[in-house]
Chains A and B, each alone.
Chain A
Amino acid sequence: MKTIKLALGAFAVLALSAFTVVQSSDWKLNEQSYSVTFKGGDLEGTFKGLKTAILFDEAVPEKAKISASINVNTINTGNGMKNKHAKGADALNAKQFPEITFVSESVNKKGTSYTALGKLTMRGVTKALSLPFTFTNKGVEGIFSGKLTVNTKEYGITKMHVPEIIEINIVASVTK
């Protein structure tokens, strides 16, 4: 009898802790509702193929883990020739480096916004970068909205007419 009670107790603890882990905010991307846009100089466009892995709890943001990647081949500037040039070897080199990834190492909260410090890998070059973002909690849904400022020269992009500074805006609708 004692053994059964112990087993039931252990099961209850395990079940509750598992439930707590699920509740600790593993946010899944709503693939129909996100946008990744970029702008720099007179160059602007969008990316698709966003993939995310987000562990985030507003109560303990320092424990957050955020990673995101975009598919370089999905770049759309609205002009076919510009798309081709953007994917070229002297620009994003999509053939050799088909993804741009960001992986957070720490997340800080300041007021109502957050900053994820992490590593951005683009064109095979990895650099430390900060990603300021906000999070709108709507219960089981939420919206992450962040902005990356990227210096293209630091990533070896030397192509003419590519602006040195490009801002990448990410708005991602997520669900628990």
Chain B
Amino acid sequence: MSSPLLQIRDLVIDYGKGADRFRALHGCSFDLEPGQVMAVVGESGSGKSSLVRAVAGLVAPASGEMLLDGQVLPPLRQRPPHTRRMIQMVFQDPGASLNPLHRVQAIIEEPLRVTGYGDAAGRKRRVAELMDMTQLSADLATRRPRELSGGQKQRVAIARALAMEPRILIADEALSALDFTTQDHVSRLLSDLRRDLNLAMLFVSHDMRSVRRMADDVCVIEKGHVVEQGAVSDVLYNPKSAYTRLLLAAALNPRAALSDPRLAEALENGEAVSEDALKGVMDIIRGGALMGDAR
């Protein structure tokens, strides 16, 4: 059997040195196959962004192994061009990652130009193709980012990432800044792209519904430790850790969660909530009861 597309083994990430050292990730391992989507879930500061940034080459791990097609994946500066192209990233705030002075056409064209793709006419055709793939209407090509909605900006960022024909797309909270309706539309787009391009994805998100819709596997990280990992069908329907349970309750039925007086008090006090305290809420959610059914 050939090796997986991406293999991550015992990845440890530190920031700072000596006495100031902070361990952001205490060891994480997984395989990613072509076309496979893994969701990475956790609070701000949990280490989930550090994990995907290491894969993107933006952070150098302290120890552990990253293999792409069985080859060691070095930090970004040492990655040969064809390796760089294979892993592309879309960030949370498209406003900050798109040059405000450039038009959509130029933004999507830039990676093509930098990598020497075709001539001007060929690049223009390719940009039109990428805009079509990301469901951006052709007349937006002459607009600047500030003339676009949040959803359109994120589509431009996705089109730019796809220009490199990556095999792995990293979406770091790419939906979080969008309103719910737009989140639905963009997550549907990502699902279509994954199917049509056999694109593997690392999908960092809090949104349990898009995790459910898009991901095959999920890795739940809490304070730098992987607390739960496995198939979405397993982890989301049978969550073991208190954090995963609370996250599901918060996303799916916050009304039920706060209707439990003991749980509401612990939450108000900012105390750690035990797995046990969340059993009642889990039973409600497992029974299929959503917001509207809460009593």
Do A and B interact with each other, yes or no? no
List residues of chain A with CB under 8 Å of any chain B CB: none
